[in-house]
């Protein structure tokens, strides 16, 4: 008999039910397999598959980028001055002029090193410069073993070696952040990867994109992860592997010699380490995992990492002692010298800039104004974790009321955040900040510490929320709401401030309202225990906020391939001698430094004594030239007369008939005609839109006596 109208046949209904049941079984099977794949070890640490998964992906991407010679370098900024038409090497984005520390200093000197054969002493400046200390340069020196991003220059072509230098420090940061994240969240590799990539794309890192920026943060994450592994793991090879990583990164970080970034990272690690040492709860990441929480046991467990750190420091001491003359010259400079920061120097604008990441997409357009002197100085992190201090305080109070002990890691994170904040806003304790070395950083560089604390806060809150969920509880609504309100308030304060100033950062930007909403949503998601949603939002705001800061570029813009540089090499071969680049632009200096030819232009770290003895033998102008600064020349008369248009700039006057030029200079390159009686023009070369003039210095002719 046929079924009633509107009813399915019994056979069809049964088939549908079986299909639905089959889909459910498959979903349960997929979930079960995923849970099995990410199941932690017996001591609550991530299993080997989780540990290697994301670093393996990063390694594959690194091989691809290095193999193709792709970087994010802004060296292509020079193309517009040396060629016409589109730059065929530019894949995406636009080179940034503000990245001059990278393309005008480090990359230029790196190419100079390659041209000279990677010497330990670069011979561009008279007397030479120690390439193993300044500007993170490659050389044939033992210290390169601890600078993995530079090892490619030993065996790779220039373009590929530059790609390794560009990507390895950033990929190391993502790997270290991921490993720290899965150490706290062993069942959440996707969440950990989103956090790691989001942190890498923070505006601060993208605008300060240099190896010396990434290595302190990588060391910090690796050391925090190592502390947990040493306390929890009983595997000897795991423990000593982590010790080796920390010891190695200690040397790598130290050889970067950029103390303002190192100091905040060290403080975060010290406070987090003490919190892990004292607190029992942070180690019980998984239900059913117990641990003997005695302080003595933990101290004993951490002795190997102290050995690794001490070994790293010992290597650094050897490196410092063998280069002490260069380091001492740098410390004796007028700028920066032994620069110390006073406490309480940050004003309202500085505090607003600290939380201004949601509005910083167009920092390059406005040159960082009004948040900082330039885009790099104005950049900051998406400080999602700082607003998680609200649920952190709730968790601390909850634990105390339930007599579960104190989560000392959360207490330590609150304490180091308070210390950094006091340094910014409370004056009058300079002696203490000097004693603990905190005055070696600056208010802008201290943002590194806030960024690190923010991520660790997010990890701990996510870990605690997972534990509460397993106990059939939930994070408090009031803490979630308050954290969200504070995050929204920070965005509103920044926006209102910039609206009042008429800044294009908010008046001409579509992105900041979207970023602001995602930022607040990330804070709310973490506070509610939805770590994956919070991490995805964190990744999204970071990508929107800084995705276009650095371009994708094929190779490096090597000026030695230009006609003017080739002519300079030919002149040098025919008539050897030193060069001076004269002009109001950076172009003569750029060509001269990249050429590797001997000369008097370029960015100096420790001032070479021989060079300045030639230029200023009486040390009359030592206050002007004894500094870390870019040295350039303009046409003038008489003795070289230095002045400082900025603290890190030295402009000298060049007179080809004066004794300095007559004794020490053989050739001149200029981007404009130079009318001086002691210059003989050798060539005029049209290089794209720029015309270069090449001269030789001729002897001064003294009129015969009547």
Interval 687-698: pLDDT, tens: 999 999 999 999
Per-residue pLDDT band for 705 (boundaries 50, 70, 90) equals very low
Token pair in block for residue 72: 């994010």
Range scoring the smallest mean pLDDT among 377-386, 463-472, 491-500: 463-472
What is the average pLDDT across 435-451? 94
Assess if residue 36 is contained within a domain.
no
Give the pLDDT confidence score for residue 288 in this predicted structure. 45
Residue 703: the pLDDT is 47
Residue 577 structural domain: 559-697
Residue 706 lies in a domain: no
pLDDT in tens, 93-111: 988 877 777 888 889 999 9
Residues 6+ apart with CB under 8 A from 397: none
Last residue of a domain, one of 553, 573, 589: 553
What's the pLDDT score for residue 704? 41
Is residue 500 domain-shared with residue 568, that is, in the same domain?
A: no
Please check the confidence at residue 377 and state whether its pLDDT lies above 70. Answer: yes
CB count within 10 Å of CB 278 equals 18
Task: Name the residue among 159, 157, 121 with its Cα closest to residue 137.
Answer: 121
Cβ atoms < 10 Å from Cβ of 297: 12
- Is 78 among the domain residues? no
Q: For 539-554, what is each residue's pLDDT tens digit?
A: 999 999 998 899 999 9
Higher pLDDT: 375 or 455? It is: 455
Task: Establish if 131 belongs to a structural domain.
Answer: no
Asked if residue 116 belongs to a domain, the reply is no
- In SS3 terms, 269-295 reads as HHHHHHHHHHCCHHHCCCCCCCCCCCH
The answer to whether residues 329 and 394 belong to one domain is yes
Tell me, yes or no, whether 164 and 283 share the same domain.
yes
Indicate the pTM of the whole model.
0.93
Q: In this structure, are 313 and 284 located in the same domain?
A: yes
Task: Scan for tokens 């467990």, then name that residue.
Answer: 301
- 4 located within any domain: no
Give domain status of residue 52, yes or no: no
Rg of the chain, C-alpha, whole Å: 29
Confidence band of 190 (pLDDT split at 50, 70, 90): very high
| Residue 20: per-residue pLDDT | 64
The fraction of the chain above a pLDDT of 90, given in percent, is 75
pLDDT mean over 643-659: 94
8 A C-beta contact, residue 666 and residue 696 = yes
Whether 174 shows a pLDDT value over 90: the answer reads yes
Whether the pLDDT of residue 424 is over 70: the answer is yes
For residue 2, the model assigns a pLDDT of 47
User: pLDDT per residue over 200-240, tens digit each?
Assistant: 999 999 999 999 999 999 999 999 999 999 998 888 999 99
Count of beta carbons in the 10 Å neighbourhood of residue 43:
17
Query: Residue 153's pLDDT is what?
Result: 97
Domain co-membership, 545 together with 565: no
170 plus 294 within the same structural domain: yes
> Residue 5: is its pLDDT beyond 50?
no
Nearest to 285 by CA among 393, 404, 392, 185: 185
User: What are residue 704's phi and psi, to 5 degrees?
Assistant: -65, 150
Residue 615 and residue 486 share a domain: no
- What number is the average pLDDT over the span 174-197? 97
Dihedral (Cα; 431, 432, 436, 438), 10-degree rounding: -80
Q: Any idea which residue has 């103390």 for tokens?
A: 259
**Residue 101: inside a domain, yes or no?**
no
Of 495, 529, 553, the residue that ends a domain is 553
> How many domains does the structure of the chain reveal?
2
Both tokens of residue 60? Answer: 């594959």
Q: What pLDDT, on a 0 to 100 scale, did the predictor assign at position 42?
A: 84
Do 604 and 535 share a domain, yes or no? Answer: no
Pairing of strands 579-582, 667-670: parallel
Give the pLDDT confidence score for residue 367 in this predicted structure: 86
Verify that 368 and 486 share a domain, yes or no: yes
Boundary (domain end) residue, out of 553, 572, 597: 553
Residue-level pLDDT at 467: 86
pLDDT for 15 equals 64
Residue 298 confidence (pLDDT): 84
Alpha carbon distance 37, 50 (integer Å):
8
pLDDT for the residue 25: 67
pLDDT digits (tens, 9 = 90+) for 38-80: 999 888 899 999 999 999 999 999 999 999 999 999 999 999 9
Whether residue 662 sits in one domain with residue 617: yes
Same domain, 424 and 406: yes
Q: Same domain, yes or no, for 530 and 415?
A: yes
Average pLDDT of the segment spanning 278-296: 58
Query: Each residue of 319-345: b (16+ CB within 10 Å) or e?
Result: beeebeebbebbeebbeeeeeebebbe
Which pLDDT belongs to residue 282?
A: 44
Helices (H), 436-510: 447-470, 477-501, 504-507
* Beta carbons of 195 and 459 less than 8 angstroms apart: yes
Residue 401 has pLDDT above 90, yes or no: no
């Amino acid at each position: 008999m046929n079924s009633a109208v509107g009813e399915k046949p019994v056979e069809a209904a049964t088939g549908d039910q079986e299909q639905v049941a089959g889909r459910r079984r498959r979903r349960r099977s997929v979930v079960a397999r995923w849970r099995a794949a990410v199941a932690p070890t017996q001591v609550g640490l991530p299993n080997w598959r989780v540990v290697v998964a994301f670093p393996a992906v990063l390694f594959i991407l690194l091989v691809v980028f290095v193999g193709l010679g792709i970087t994010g370098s802004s060296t292509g900024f020079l193309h517009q001055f040396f060629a016409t038409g589109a730059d065929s090497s530019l894949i995406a984005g636009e080179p940034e002029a503000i990245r001059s520390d990278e393309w005008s200093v480090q990359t230029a000197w790196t190419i100079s090193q390659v041209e000279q054969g990677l010497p330990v002493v670069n011979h561009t400046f008279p007397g030479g410069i120690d390439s193993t200390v300044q500007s993170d340069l490659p050389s044939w020196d033992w210290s390169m073993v601890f600078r993995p991003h530079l090892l490619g220059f030993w065996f790779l072509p220039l373009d590929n070696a530059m790609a390794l230098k560009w990507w390895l420090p950033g990929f190391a940061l993502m790997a270290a952040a991921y490993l720290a994240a899965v150490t706290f969240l062993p069942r959440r590799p996707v969440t950990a990867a989103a956090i790691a990539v989001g942190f890498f794309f923070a505006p601060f890192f993208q605008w300060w994109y240099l190896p010396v920026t990434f290595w302190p943060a990588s060391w910090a994450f690796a050391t925090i992860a190592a502390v947990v592994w040493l306390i929890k793991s009983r595997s000897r090879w795991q423990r000593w592997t982590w010790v080796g990583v920390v010891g190695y990164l200690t040397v790598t970080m130290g050889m970067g010699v950029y103390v303002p970034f190192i100091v905040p990272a060290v403080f975060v690690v010290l406070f987090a380490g003490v919190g892990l040492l004292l607190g029992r709860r942070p180690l019980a990441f998984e239900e059913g995992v117990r641990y003997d929480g005695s302080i003595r046991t933990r101290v004993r467990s951490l002795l190997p990492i102290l050995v690794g750190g001490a070994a790293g420091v010992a290597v650094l001491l050897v490196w410092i002692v063998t280069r002490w003359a260069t380091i001492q010259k740098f410390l004796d400079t007028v700028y920066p010298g032994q620069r110390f920061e006073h406490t309480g120097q940050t004003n309202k604008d500085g505090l607003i800039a600290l939380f201004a990441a949601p509005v910083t997409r167009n920092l390059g357009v406005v040159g960082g104004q009004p948040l900082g002197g330039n885009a790099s100085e104005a950049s900051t992190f998406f400080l999602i974790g700082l607003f998680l201090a609200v649920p952190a305080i709730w968790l601390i109070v909850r634990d105390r009321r339930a007599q579960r002990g104190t989560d000392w890691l959360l207490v330590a994170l609150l304490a180091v955040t308070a210390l950094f904040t006091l340094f910014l806003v409370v004056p009058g304790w300079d002696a203490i900040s000097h004693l603990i070395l905190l005055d070696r950083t600056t208010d802008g560089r201290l943002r590194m510490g806030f960024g690190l604390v923010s991520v660790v806060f997010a990890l701990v809150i996510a870990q605690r929320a997972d534990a509460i969920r397993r106990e059939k509880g939930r994070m408090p609504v009031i803490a979630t709401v308050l954290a969200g309100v504070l995050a929204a308030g920070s965005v509103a304060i920044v926006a209102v401030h910039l609206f009042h100033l008429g800044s294009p950062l908010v008046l001409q930007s579509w992105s900041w309202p979207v970023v602001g909403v995602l930022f607040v949503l990330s804070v709310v998601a973490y506070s509610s225990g939805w770590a994956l949603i919070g991490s995805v939002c964190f990744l999204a705001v970071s990508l929107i906020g800084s995705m276009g800061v650095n371009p994708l570029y094929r190779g490096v813009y090597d000026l030695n391939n230009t006609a003017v540089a080739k002519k300079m090499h030919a002149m040098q071969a025919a008539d050897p001698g030193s060069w001076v680049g004269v002009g109001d632009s950076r172009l003569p200096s750029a060509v001269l430094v990249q050429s590797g030819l001997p000369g008097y232009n370029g960015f100096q770290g420790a001032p070479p004594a021989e060079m300045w003895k030639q230029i200023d033998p009486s040390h009359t102008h030592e206050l002007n030239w004894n500094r870390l600064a870019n040295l350039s020349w303009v046409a003038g008369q008489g003795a070289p007369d230095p002045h400082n248009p900025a603290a890190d700039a030295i402009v000298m006057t060049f007179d080809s008939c004066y004794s300095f030029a007559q004794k020490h200079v053989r050739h001149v390159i200029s981007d404009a005609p130079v009318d001086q009686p002691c210059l003989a023009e050798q060539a005029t070369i049209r290089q794209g839109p720029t015309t270069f003039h090449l001269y030789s210095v001729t002897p001064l002719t003294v009129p015969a006596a009547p």
